[in-house]
Structure 1
């Protein structure tokens, strides 16, 4: 079952001069010992085009600012900085089971992470792609996935579900939440893009819409991700429903930045973990 999140999410606030603001999913909030958050760009220590809570390590931001931003995120979730674990995302379908946290500098190539260990805070970085956080509350197993169009089409969501099941979860107990990503109104695509999805599965047509005859299609990334999760057996899927491209004060956006003179941009982070 898919439910739409509240129009503006459930907002939790950090405290202090560098405090951050994050959104929480109703379906994940209140689960025993589970902490999660979909962070935006607000707060943090980065400056310039990266201003705010940039956690991306593969851009021109100051490493010291990124490290401080990552520590800030972990602290707001109640975890030590070293517990925050992310991958080097490559728009693929590799899912890794995390047993011990690693530093950002040693991150392996992957687009999904799963853990059954308490004290590990999984993170996924985005700037228009869909961040997906998952949990089997009974088993205490959590997952985080980075789902751009290519990864979603290729099967990253099924991969993270399978990774959780292999760690001891049951698909029928998995609750998933899809965080802020580029919204359909902002996501104009080429006809060839739509054709690739339809060639994979004709039922994908429902996730493309045109404003008028002859117009380019617009793609519903969050809706498509929810559909793939449901077909993989997830018990509950929530869509937060925020458009990263349309909210420059709240989110970093690759699509928005690419239309400016300086296409550089930061990355926001979404996290989930189980406390000790």
Structure 2
């Protein structure tokens, strides 16, 4: 269990998933000074580097082979690597951070999954990239970190119309002409489609825990600055 933190604390704390036990990883909570990369690296016992991309709600995956040449200006929404002594990360503020690992093959992934990316194939593409690197889908373990929960995620018909009839289970009736969307459930379904059987959703609602997590939607509703993000990262165990 992780104790709640206040904005006055200088360093964020990390939440971990049981399914990834033994894999250095953390879903960081917010700190008072914005995303703290040093604290994130310390949470997974890494000295760096910490690799990220410029997230654009796409289905694009970057496979990292040479950390020294990696650029944060690459437009993508997932990283996959077999490199040790580094960490890969995404940032979120309601979208779902997804961390994946096949420890036997030594392959990990960090994925930013908003509804557009999840629908566009970011999760399946990430699994495919891991498999090409030597992973096996039936060995991959996945954790879905803190994200906006269904009861907090009201959507209109324009968004719902982007989905197939088979996705109806992810939409609960809301007020007139609106629905409550289950982002974590949709992400889990896409992981299952990709052959991932070991999935843990942490079920922590970013919207309802503003003392612990940034929420783009809550900040918008409050008329506050919406740029806050928290880091989710994963690394391979030291060899």
Same fold (TM over 0.5): yes
Q: Name which of 15, 29, 42 aligns with 1:23.
A: 15
Q: How does 1:183-262 map to 2 (within 5 A)?
A: 183-198=149-164, 202-211=165-174, 214-262=176-224
Deviation string 1:177-220 (CA, Å, 9 cap, x unpaired) is: 1000011011000112112112xxx21000000146x3510100
Q: How does 1:83-232 map to 2 (within 5 A)?
A: 83-101=49-67, 106-198=72-164, 202-211=165-174, 214-232=176-194
User: CA 1:258 to 1:23, structure 2 compared with 1: closer, same or farther past 3 Å?
Assistant: same
User: CA 1:233 to 1:135, structure 2 compared with 1: closer, same or farther past 3 Å?
Assistant: same
Q: CA offset at residue 258 of structure 1?
A: 1.1
Q: Alignment length, in residue pairs? A: 235
Q: Name which of 40, 50, 53 aligns with 1:73.
A: 40
2: distance between equivalents of 1:76 and 1:104? 22
Q: 1:60 maps to what in 2? A: none
Gaps of 5+ in 2: none
If the length of structure 2 is used for normalisation, what is the TM-score? 0.92
Gaps of 5+ in 1: 1-9, 47-53, 56-68
Deviation string 1:214-235 (CA, Å, 9 cap, x unpaired) is: 3510100000000000111012
2: distance between equivalents of 1:20 and 1:247? 14
Contact 2:154 2:174 in 1 (8 A): no
1: distance between equivalents of 2:104 and 2:71? 33
Q: CA offset at residue 86 of structure 1?
A: 0.6
Q: CA offset at residue 107 of structure 1?
A: 3.4
